């Protein structure tokens, strides 16, 4: 998963977990990795479309694979945000499993454990409070999209849509940057996820005039791209394998 499908890359350095007494345990877990998570491409498909085929039994091995493929190696907020959003959604869906999962993941490196801890904290927030978090950077959009990928809930995409008018904000450069990121993230996700495209079409009927115009532009761009012969979306045989 080279990002959360919004054009902001998740850096994967391919560095395996290492270290002292936990090494044997880590390697034992690696041996037990299910086929659905065995390769980087498989892990990408699992995370990108988790909401279509949720399986909480794979959460711990998936986190171990994320660590093995280097997803936790960069401690910048921009690269942590998609992970935190995605994992927080997984934890929010299975609150009774969190304590046991954390025990199983106790040998992760310090930064990986910190990312998991921050995800647990967000998982404990009521959804309305999560959605009310102030969007102060493009990384906050990554947080929302990460949560969407784990849940498929329209509310997270709608929150991104609410930021779209900021792209035409000429008096506040930071808001304009975030608004532009919202535009491109929504376009990219609508291209890849039929659910997001359908939501864009639906919200065009009920949104304010300013949001409606931007959504119409996004839908036109996505439909034009999808009409190209080489494009394959989530419903294609390739994506469903």
Task: Between 26 and 188, name the one with better pLDDT.
Answer: 188
Condensed to tens digits (0 to 9), the pLDDT of residues 123-168 reads: 999 999 999 999 999 999 999 999 999 999 999 999 999 999 999 9
The model carries a pTM of 0.81
pLDDT at 133: 96
How high is the pLDDT of residue 7?
Answer: 34
pLDDT of 173 higher than 90: yes
| Phi, psi (degrees; rounded to nearest 5) at 39 | -120, 165
Q: What is the pLDDT of residues 66-110, one digit of tens each?
A: 999 999 987 666 679 999 999 999 999 999 999 999 999 999 999
Cβ atoms of 168 and 208 within 8 Å: the answer is: no
pLDDT at 76: 65
What phi-psi label fits residue 3: left (phi over 0), alpha (psi between -120 and 50 degrees) or beta?
Answer: left
pLDDT of residue 20: 31
Find the range with the poorest average confidence among 26-30, 124-128, 150-154, 214-218: 26-30
Q: What is the DSSP string of 219-239?
A: HHHHHHHHTSTT---TTSHHH
Q: What angle do CA 196, 200, 204 make, to 5 degrees?
A: 165
Question: How much is the mean pLDDT over the chain?
Answer: 84
Helix (H) or strand (E) holding 132: none
Of 221, 222, 212, whose CA–CA distance to 165 is shortest? 212
């Amino acid at each position: 998963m080279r990002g959360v499908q919004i054009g902001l890359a998740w850096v994967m350095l391919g560095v395996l977990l290492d270290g002292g007494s936990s090494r044997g345990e880590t390697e034992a877990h690696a041996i037990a990795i299910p086929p659905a998570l065995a390769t980087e491409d498989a892990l990408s498909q699992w995370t990108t479309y988790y909401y279509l085929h949720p399986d909480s039994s794979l959460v711990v091995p998936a986190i171990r694979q994320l660590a093995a493929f280097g997803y936790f190696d960069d401690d910048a907020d921009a690269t942590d945000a998609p992970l935190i959003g995605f994992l927080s959604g997984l934890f929010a869906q299975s609150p009774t499993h969190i304590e046991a999962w954390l025990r199983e993941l106790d040998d992760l490196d310090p930064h990986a454990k910190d990312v998991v801890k921050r995800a647990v904290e967000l998982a404990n927030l009521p959804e309305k409070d999560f959605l009310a978090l102030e969007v102060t950077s493009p990384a906050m959009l990554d947080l929302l999209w990460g949560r969407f990928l784990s849940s498929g809930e329209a509310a997270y995409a709608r929150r991104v849509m609410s930021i779209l008018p900021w792209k035409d904000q000429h008096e506040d450069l930071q808001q304009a940057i975030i608004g532009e990121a919202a535009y491109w993230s929504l376009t990219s996700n609508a291209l890849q996820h039929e659910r997001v495209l359908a939501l864009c079409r639906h919200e065009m009927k009920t949104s304010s005039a300013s949001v409606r115009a931007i959504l119409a532009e996004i839908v036109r761009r996505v439909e034009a791209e999808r009409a190209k012969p080489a494009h394959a979306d989530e419903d294609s045989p390739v994506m469903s394998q």
